[in-house]
Amino acid sequence: MARQLTLDLGHTPALGRSDFLVTPANALAMTTLDRPETWPQGRMLLIGPEGAGKTHLATIWSAETGAARMPARALRPDLVDYLAAEDGAVVIEDANRIGASAGAEQALFHLWNLCAARGCWLLLTARSAPREWDMVLPDLRSRMAAMPQTRIEAPDESLLAAVLVKLMADRQLVTPPGLIEWLVPRMDRDLGLARRLVDALDRQTMAERRGLTRSLAADILATLTEAEGVNAPDQGAEPEVATEAEPRADLSGGPDSQADGEGVTSPKPTSADALPTADQDGTDAPTDPNPSDPPPDSDPQG
């Protein structure tokens, strides 16, 4: 079969409140973020594994509170005043990466204090607890260790299934009946693996101009799990169910715009409007500074 040239045009995920899939693994975290007025001293740390929906929740929260957002590694002391608005709100994403930069650590320390002085809510997101962040400043370590926390727990089967459904819908993949139910018990409860699986399925169906089938999903899942040191899934003996490929965007006509996963920002209407923001998988992407009242350019993130 002739293969089609595929271009990495990305996709635009849905990151509104109605798009967030609530399960027992994340319900408490969502409830906690919905009540910032109850946070001790107006601070909260949201912890969860890769792909669990931290940035989706942060996007909802920032949209509803008018919060400024910035990836932790882009923090600089000269940006703190822009972020900590009087009676405002701010989100610092991927805080587990803060130890990579002494300047970012110093900035977070000052942001902590300034938010308290100005009555500004402070939300951090991270993949791990503060003891694993490799921070240098003792004062910052002690403050992060004392910060109240809420967690997105390791995914149960219902969350894994819901994430697979959403990822495939975001990429306009037509899912054969029963495919999600077939995949879930055959793969690790790893939302990062779910994301890589759907990405590979999207690329393969586009390259081969074919619909998604159980056989293709089984082959790609086996390849991914073998590469990651996990036992390959049992394909089972159930008959394959195929779907016709749904019309997709024409790849030959030029690239579409891309928004990568969890990284949509909803900045507060202040001079911090155009500060850097973080993307879904932890890759930080600063936005351009506000030309009318620009903070100094922040470092690009990897």
Q: How many domains does the chain have?
A: 2
User: Does residue 68 form part of some domain?
Assistant: yes
What is the total residue count of the chain? 302
User: Does residue 234 form part of some domain?
Assistant: yes
How many other CB atoms are found less than 10 A from the CB of residue 136?
Answer: 13
Judgement on whether residues 136 and 264 belong to the same structural domain of the protein: yes
Judgement on whether residues 277 and 230 belong to the same structural domain of the protein: no
Average pLDDT of 108-137?
Answer: 95
User: Does residue 10 form part of some domain?
Assistant: no
User: At 70, which CATH number?
Assistant: 3.40.50.300
Judgement on whether residues 59 and 208 belong to the same structural domain of the protein: no
pLDDT per residue as tens digits for the range 64-95? 999 999 999 899 999 999 999 999 999 999 99
pLDDT per residue as tens digits for the range 167-179? 898 888 999 999 9
Judgement on whether residues 243 and 269 belong to the same structural domain of the protein: no
User: Does residue 291 form part of some domain?
Assistant: no
The rounded distance, in Å, linking the Cα atoms of 198 and 204 is: 10
Average pLDDT of 98-109?
Answer: 88
Judgement on whether residues 146 and 226 belong to the same structural domain of the protein: no
**pLDDT over threshold 60, residue 277:** no
Task: Grade residue 36 by pLDDT with cuts at 50, 70 and 90.
Answer: very high
Maximum CA extent, the chain: 65
Judgement on whether residues 208 and 269 belong to the same structural domain of the protein: no
Average pLDDT of 18-37?
Answer: 89
Task: Report the percent of the chain where pLDDT is more than 70.
Answer: 70
Judgement on whether residues 40 and 140 belong to the same structural domain of the protein: yes
pTM: 0.61
Judgement on whether residues 97 and 48 belong to the same structural domain of the protein: yes
pLDDT per residue as tens digits for the range 281-295? 443 333 343 444 444
Q: Which of 13-22, 107-116, 186-195, 203-212 has the lowest mean pLDDT?
A: 13-22
User: Does residue 28 form part of some domain?
Assistant: yes
Task: Grade residue 51 by pLDDT with cuts at 50, 70 and 90.
Answer: confident
Task: Report the percent of the chain where pLDDT is more than 90.
Answer: 49
- In this predicted structure, what is the pLDDT of residue 302? 37
User: Does residue 201 form part of some domain?
Assistant: yes
**pLDDT over threshold 80, residue 10:** no
**pLDDT over threshold 50, residue 61:** yes
How many other CB atoms are found less than 10 A from the CB of residue 269?
Answer: 10
Residues 6+ apart with CB under 8 A from 78: 295, 296
Judgement on whether residues 21 and 130 belong to the same structural domain of the protein: yes
Pairing relation of β-strands 89-93 and 68-71?
parallel
Residue 171 CA: distances (Å) to CA of 164, 224, 230, 233? 11, 19, 26, 24
CB-CB contact of 173 with 205 (8 Å): yes
User: Does residue 253 form part of some domain?
Assistant: no
Judgement on whether residues 229 and 265 belong to the same structural domain of the protein: no
Judgement on whether residues 115 and 177 belong to the same structural domain of the protein: no
Mean pLDDT of the chain: 77
pLDDT per residue as tens digits for the range 224-267? 988 866 544 554 434 344 444 444 444 334 433 333 333 333 34
User: Does residue 111 form part of some domain?
Assistant: yes
Tokens of 279: 């993307």
- By residue range, what is the domain housing residue 46? 17-153+260-285
- In this predicted structure, what is the pLDDT of residue 14? 60
Judgement on whether residues 80 and 143 belong to the same structural domain of the protein: yes
